[in-house]
Structure 1
């Protein structure tokens, strides 16, 4: 399922959006250590499409999606 999250991002002069932090609903804040890749992409696990950011967060590779106007990650099924 899509897990919608708040994101702190930087907007570059050329229009690129660079995510900096992910804010979880329970108040935790995760710094994005590095954006490894940024391209149009589709989430095959939960559906949806937009810009897929492959990020390194706490030594883990995480796909973060910007599906205008919202951000989401691929949540675990319950």
Structure 2
């Protein structure tokens, strides 16, 4: 089965910033104002998006039982690899 096309979508992120410098994203808001709660953060690592370009800190998150990547470009901008 062919993989769906992806596009880079910048999103608003609600996150906790801790005194030790760590960050835990809690929810994302898409361009259409849909809010998705992040159930769990599985991993955090520096990585590049091979599907839409860009890089930064990649959070592997669970949203409604689905695994997704959330990228922090470290300039205050966050993006996801959204299905077209």
TM-score, normalised by the number of residues in structure 1: 0.92
List runs of 5+ in structure 1 lacking aligned partners. Answer: none
Q: Deviations over 1:4-58 (max 9, x none)?
A: 0000000011101110000112121110000000011110011111000000000
Q: Secondary structure at the match of 2:83?
A: coil
Whether 2:80 is the aligned partner of 1:70: answer: no
Residues in 2 aligned to 1:27 and 1:50: alpha-carbon distance in whole angstroms: 24
RMSD in angstroms over aligned alpha carbons? 1.0
Superposition TM-score, scaled by structure 2 size: 0.86
Q: Hey, which bits of structure 1, 4+ residues long, moved more than 6 A?
A: none
Q: How many aligned residue pairs are there?
A: 77
Q: What is the distance in 2 between the residues matched to 1:25 and 1:76?
A: 13
> Hey, what does 2:54 align to over in structure 1?
48
Higher CA-based Rg:
2
